[in-house]
């Protein structure tokens, strides 16, 4: 398995039509070592003494982030946006999980990875880190105490910016009051069409420095999505052999409402059989806006 999951193969798998999602989890590939980015230089002695040796960074092909960190892996599907979950496809292809990501199999598929908790503390250079690209941190089988541990690490690793994305908005709202919300933690929910726009209502009450919406894969109009209290919207079409086409009108409507509301808008891709085939130009240009904030500095 280790030699099979090189970044080259992962990219080939993408272009061969694995379904759209946002993940390449190289932390699974740590045993291979050779194709990972190792940060070996420049770690100050104080931090090295405190956190131990520098760890390989889990690089990613996701356009709006720089690295991934997966203290939990495995999940179960909750809405139509999950239908072609890339994390499931990748996990089953490489036998990280054997059974479909249904609620009935969740107890087997959802795994805590406490040994990964300290990884960001060992990444020296400040990064934008997508948390749990291979799962959903607020999955009902992830204990609240473990979520608190993840938040404690994010607070301690203040030189990074962490992006947490969930479809479990109700559980997020339930746990948010008991979590610390340092400035370097951005919180988002997925909204694939108007049917799921209410997830944003739960997000609005979360005291995160940046609140964002992932409208990807965009499966229908999101005119029911209110943008007050939202700082950033990411949109994109689905990719893969069974991709569900996105309509330009849905994207333009969302883009226009973001512009009117002063919300940063990032258009990731049109999607199609492969993630790159449709490009990412919208209305004559690329949209890569990021929310106004600052990256923490070491």
Report whether 5 contacts 94 (CB < 8 A): yes
How crowded is the C-beta side of 219, counted as CA atoms within 13 Å? Answer: 19
Q: Pick between residue 141 and residue 154 the one whose CB is nearest to ligand SF4.
A: 141
Does residue 136 touch ligand SF4 according to CB under 6 A? yes
Q: Could you tell me which residues are beta bridge partners of residue 68?
A: 130
Interacting span for ligand SF4 (CB under 6 A) from 27-35, 78-86, 155-163, 233-241: 78-86
State whether the Cα torsion 43-44-48-50 is positive or negative. negative
Q: Pick between residue 21 and residue 128 the one whose CB is nearest to ligand SF4.
A: 21
* Shortest reach from residue 263's CB to ligand SF4, in Å: 23
Query: Which listed residue (113, 116, 167, 199) binds ligand SF4 by CB under 6 A?
Result: 167
Report whether 178 contacts 63 (CB < 8 A): no
Does residue 87 touch ligand SF4 according to CB under 6 A? yes
Q: Pick between residue 102 and residue 288 the one whose CB is nearest to ligand SF4.
A: 102
Does residue 186 touch ligand SF4 according to CB under 6 A? no
Does residue 135 touch ligand SF4 according to CB under 6 A? yes
Does residue 158 touch ligand SF4 according to CB under 6 A? no
Query: Which listed residue (9, 30, 77, 170) binds ligand SF4 by CB under 6 A?
Result: 77
Interacting span for ligand SF4 (CB under 6 A) from 8-16, 81-89, 112-120, 212-220: 81-89
Residues, the chain, total?
298
Chain residues in the site for ligand SF4 (CB under 6 A) = 75, 77-78, 82, 85, 87-88, 101, 135-136, 167
């Amino acid at each position: 398995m280790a030699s099979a999951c090189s970044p080259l193969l992962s990219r080939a798998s993408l272009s061969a039509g694995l379904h759209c999602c946002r993940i390449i989890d190289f932390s699974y590939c740590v045993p291979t070592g050779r194709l990972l980015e190792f940060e070996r230089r420049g770690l100050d002695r104080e931090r090295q003494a405190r956190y131990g040796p520098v760890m390989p960074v889990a690089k990613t092909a996701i356009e709006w982030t720089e690295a991934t960190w997966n203290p939990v892996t495995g999940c179960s599907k909750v809405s139509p946006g999950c239908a072609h979950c890339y994390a499931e496809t990748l996990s089953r292809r490489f036998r990280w999980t054997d059974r479909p990501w249904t609620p009935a199999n969740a107890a087997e598929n959802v795994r805590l990875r406490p040994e990964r908790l300290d990884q960001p503390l060992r990444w020296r250079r400040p990064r934008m880190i997508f948390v749990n690209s291979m799962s959903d941190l607020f999955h009902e089988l992830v204990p609240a105490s473990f979520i608190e541990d993840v938040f404690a690490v994010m607070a301690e690793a203040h030189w990074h910016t962490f992006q947490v994305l969930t479809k479990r908005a109700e559980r997020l709202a339930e746990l948010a009051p008991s979590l610390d919300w340092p400035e370097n933690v951005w919180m988002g929910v997925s909204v694939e069409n108007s049917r799921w726009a209410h997830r944003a209502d739960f997000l609005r009450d979360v005291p995160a420095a940046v609140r964002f919406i992932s409208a990807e894969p965009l499966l229908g109009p999101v005119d029911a999505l209110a943008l007050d209290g939202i700082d950033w919207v990411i949109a994109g079409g689905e990719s893969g052999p069974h991709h569900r086409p996105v309509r330009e009108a849905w994207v333009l409507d969302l883009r226009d409402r973001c512009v009117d509301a002063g919300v940063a808008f990032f258009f990731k891709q049109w999607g199609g059989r492969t993630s790159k085939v449709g490009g990412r130009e919208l209305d004559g240009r690329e949209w890569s806006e990021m929310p106004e904030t600052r990256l923490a500095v070491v």
